[in-house]
Chains A and B, each alone.
Chain A
């Protein structure tokens, strides 16, 4: 009986797979779905400082890219979404992870250990955890580097970090060398990553309260 096609297809093919999906997929999902999924309005109510700086530095490119001369909320959300899409299209996620583990001194190197709540939002659909780090983790990139640093770095990474093996992204720039829609968006996206957690860490540093997820090793 166990060696018939219908048994194999039904029991091994469907049931075993369904069991695994239940234990390793559905159960985590039911737990995590208690945390409401947030929209961009909720996680990004105001344009970031970096986005405002981009609007000041490159007014023409900015207008061409987002159809607005001021860094409005709508333009900011457009930039975040498009920046995420560029991040996916260029497979940034193949060389940069987006979660900080509670081991290997990662909280010292990058910042607060990741918690599930910070990924329950529309910017993380699809998720971009990543499985390889050639370059550093980016989930705490907010506030680490200036807009100017990013503009130079995407143009020619080794010019900024001599040992960098990151490729150049010439097509993020227009003929005059100013970042275009792709460049402005991806810089907005990367400099937004972990903004809320960075603020939380600052608050904790001020008030002396230990981070909730600060389990060290």
Chain B
């Protein structure tokens, strides 16, 4: 098995490893910086809208919703908008931007076509906007994370397929495809995650949005919805996130990932166990129990796999821990990773049927979901944006102080929200089981909901800081020095010669 390693050309130049890959083009030719920029801007815009929607929705819980009785601002619809634009507006957009940066650099070839890139970009914005309008107009679909109106679903599939072909082309072309290319080069870890995620995205989206909608009713439909809820996160967002981690961490620390074997275990463990988890969203439902037990066991198995990945990344940081202080991107990435570990550890416990009795249906799950989607993937994307934005605009961040504010407000507000919602969940769960009148659980939740709303508003404010900072950086930041730009990474593969 070959050892695939990312190095920066600054580090690799002296060792002459670049000579082993003679066809590597200069990154400035490979990467469509304008596309990266456009995706990041679109993603952050949708993120802001989505967070506003979330904060607004949370006011309903305080009986303080500012637009009572207004159909187009109905809290239920705003709730769907919140998750839908996080998933498709924020995560997909920024991930696609990252793909435009990462894939050409790892494969040495540009994406299939610049025209397709821009077609996909505008098509995707049209899709997310149509979903936005459809949901607010009362056409939401009854699938969590799949609220996109049913008539848009086929368009999403087509759009995703075009995007996938565009991105997968350089991967397949670069010799990473079976038996093709010089000496059967093997792919870097990031590309395993990306290639698999492309296939998963199409399959998962089709399964979740069509099967329970048109063909399979009741409990069996719920089983597929469970798989969808879980796999959109687990088989698209998670591999996109880990792909980014495996790319950015070595690039920033200028050190290879500690253990290739653990990378292999992490990837294949995720591929095998993650899709089996879905039904843990519907424990004690009329779905057959063996399927529920299967979900318990595989969820705990995922935690073991996650542990290997976390160990790998912490060992990769050995000797460079000081960078957590000096490099904000890396701090975002590792903060996200600690949260990832926390959520997965949580999963291993609260997937047990014992804890499910109390915490299911409560705010505990909401707290967990926020730690995953925002604390992990949001934070990783902040790390990526922090790294990429100067490189795609050619300007340095204007104010380290604003960056620090953005980091600390987000981190502290999220932690407050997370702990607050967990506690609220336990209170609600116990009150329900004691058969206290239902209203008791609402009255007891109000203080927790206040804290949640305040934390949520702080998170919105933090993103306003980010948006403002990105804007002034692009407009008036000091130029990024040429040397720094040239030191951006290209791939060198070490030890590939041993394999034919």
Interface residues of A (CB under 8 A from B): 2-9, 11-14, 16-17, 19-21, 23-25, 27-29, 31-33, 37, 88-95, 97, 99, 101-106, 108-109, 114-116, 118-122, 124-129, 131-136, 158, 161-165, 167-171, 217
Contacts and interface: CB of A to CB of B under 8 A. Distances in A.
Contacts of B438: 135-136
The 3 A-B pairs with the shortest beta carbon distances in the complex, nearest first, are A13-B199, A119-B218, A20-B275
A4 B187 contact: yes
Given A23-B294, A129-B222, A90 B76 contact: yes
Given A9-B198, A127-B212, A167-B76, A4 B186 contact: yes
Contacts of B295: 24
A125 B222 CA distance: 10
B77 interface: yes
Q: Is the interface of B mostly helix, strand, loop or mixed?
A: helix
Contacts of A33: 220
B429 interface: yes
B171 A129 contact: no
Interface size bucket, B side?
A: 35 or more
Contacts of B172: 5-6
B264 A9 contact: no
B195 A5 contact: yes
Contacts of A101: 283-285, 357, 360
Nearest to B67: A167
Contacts of A106: 432
A3 B76 contact: no
Interface in B135-191: 138-144, 147, 168, 171-172, 176-178, 184, 186-187, 191
A158 B275 CA distance: 42
Given A17-B200, A89-B139, A126-B213, A24 B291 contact: yes
B203 A14 contact: yes
A128 to B, nearest CB: 6
A3 B186 contact: yes
23 contacts: A2-B268, A3-B4, A3-B187, A5-B177, A5-B187, A8-B196, A13-B198, A17-B199, A90-B138, A91-B79, A91-B147, A99-B285, A104-B357, A104-B429, A115-B286, A116-B218, A116-B287, A125-B214, A126-B142, A127-B218, A129-B219, A161-B439, A167-B75
A86 to B, nearest CB: 8
